[in-house]
Structure formats: structure tokens, C-alpha cells
Chains A and B, each alone.
Chain A
Amino acid sequence: NAGVMQNPRHLVRRRGQEARLRCSPMKGHSHVYWYRQLPEEGLKFMVYLQKENIIDESGMPKERFSAEFPKEGPSILRIQQVVRGDSAAYFCASSPGTARSTEAFFGQGTRLTVV
């Protein structure tokens, strides 16, 4: 059973470009979470998704950021018109999401560098 897969592992974008980060949850997991880790800071929650639904996006910046988890395919975190302050490690986690198990398993992260 493969773990949570994120790609790319490293992404370099120029200011103003778009960044697309992908996350494939563990097999059998229907809940996906995105977290951001800024340099020298802790992990901050961004968004919680189930298939085709955004459950909680209270941690998402109001502009330029969006996330989706379609019926088929990976979850996508999209950052439009990136700025230097978007440089961070973005982690995806997944869980079964049942009341019996909310244990979260994390991917290796995507390290975004905006130049």
C-alpha cells in the first residue's frame, strides 16, 4: 500500500507564474488535507477536502489559492500569480476519515521556491 504521494517534490516558479501541486492519497482514504510550512515556522492548516467537496478552507488565503479533490485523480493545490512569500513546503495528508480512525498520514511534501 503506497503512502501519500506528492509531486513534484521540488518546484521553482518565477513571480507571477502559476504553481500546481498534486497529491494522491493512500489507497482507501477519501479525506485529504493540505498544510503549509513556512521557513522557521510550524505547520499551518490550509484546507480539508473530501471527494468533490471542500469541507474546511479556513486556512486558505483569500486570493490566488484554490484546492480541489475531483472524483477521479489526485487532489490539486493551485497557486496563481505566485509571490516570494509563497515559498514554503506544502504537505498533503490523507486519512480514512471514519469516526473510528482519523489518523493522518503525510506525504513527503512539495518544496516551492519562487524566484
Chain B
Amino acid sequence: KQEVTQIPAALSVPEGENLVLNCSFTDSAIYNLQWFRQDPGKGLTSLLLIQSSQREQTSGRLNASLDKSSGRSTLYIAASQPGDSATYLCAVMTTDSWGKFQFGAGTQVVVTP
């Protein structure tokens, strides 16, 4: 059974610092991995999707890497801003559960001005 863990559970940084969020998964037979952002009381916003054949994806200040063999993905957010404050969720789709995402518990990020 796939288990997804996100460390740390919470993170507070001053504005301008780079953010590093970690996601680990136990079953490396994944189809893809997706990073989301969730604001309090809101839905999920898709940030980046990495297919299993890819090593990384980039969008603006965001970069996500994937190492299937070690069961890890890292989300980097460069030059953090107060508007980046949110909970970041990692979700994995395994090849034997196509269409079903297994979510981590999330990392709650606070960027202080």
C-alpha cells in the first residue's frame, strides 16, 4: 500500500528565503506525482505535475524534482513571498491504482514579511 509522507509538517521562513518541501513515498511504481497548494477554507490549486519518466518540472519560481528510485520528490520555491503562505500537498498516483491519488498530510508554510 502506497504511503506518502511530507516533512516538515510546518515551516516558517522570512520573506525572500528559498523554500524546500519534501515528499517521500513507499512504492516507487508510480504513474505520476502532483504538487498542490491549498489555502485555508479553499480548494486545491495544481502547481506542478511530474510524470514518472521525468526528473523535474519548472514553473516560474517553482521547481519540483522526482527521484523514483529513492521514493522522493522535492518542491523548491525560490525567493518566497508572503503570498506563498499556504499548505502544500504532494499526491502520488501508483501504476496499480490508476486515477487514484494518495495524498500526503501536507506542509503548512508561513512566509513572514
Contact = CB atoms under 8 A, between A and B. Distances in A.
B99 A55 contact: yes
A103 to B, nearest CB: 4
Interface size class of B (residues with CB under 8 A): 20 to 34
Interface residues of A, number: 28
B34 A104 contact: yes
Contact of B97 (A42, A56, A103, A109): A56
Contacts of B105: 41-42
B99 A31 contact: yes
Q: Is the interface of A mostly helix, strand, loop or mixed?
A: strand
A67 B20 CA distance: 38
Interface in B54-101: 89, 91, 93, 97-101
Interface of A: 4, 6, 31, 33, 35, 41-45, 48, 55-56, 58-59, 91, 93, 95, 97, 102-109, 111
Interface of B: 31-32, 34, 36, 41-46, 49, 89, 91, 93, 97-106
